[in-house]
Amino acid sequence: VLEERLGNFSEATRYYNLGLSLSEKVKNDAQSLTILNNLADLYLSKKDVNQAKLLLEKALLLSEKSKLYRMKPLLQANFGLCLYAQAD
């Protein structure tokens, strides 16, 4: 998150992907959801709506599969932002 706030998008992406890989390896679905959402937000801020949508779709599926519904409204809202951004 720090790298993202500093504008170091390539470093932020690298750290998010590393964190995602580790959280998937240890099957920490809650952490994976958070990382997928943050990574999607990063891509959306870079105007890469398609990549953001893919990540949010993956997160929404994981939320359903793992029955972790707490983040689902946030994921859906961010997916809506992607659709809105695509309409522009």
pTM, to two decimals: 0.91
71 DSSP assignment: T
Query: Residue 57 is which amino acid?
Result: E
Alpha-carbon radius of gyration of the chain:
13
pLDDT score at 7? 78
DSSP string, 4-68: HHTT-HHHHHHHHHHHHHHHHHTT-HHHHHHHHHHHHHHHHHTT-HHHHHHHHHHHHHHHHHHT-
**What is the residue-level pLDDT of the chain in tens, covering all 88 positions?**
677 777 778 899 999 999 999 999 999 999 999 999 999 999 999 999 999 999 999 999 999 999 999 999 999 999 999 999 988 7
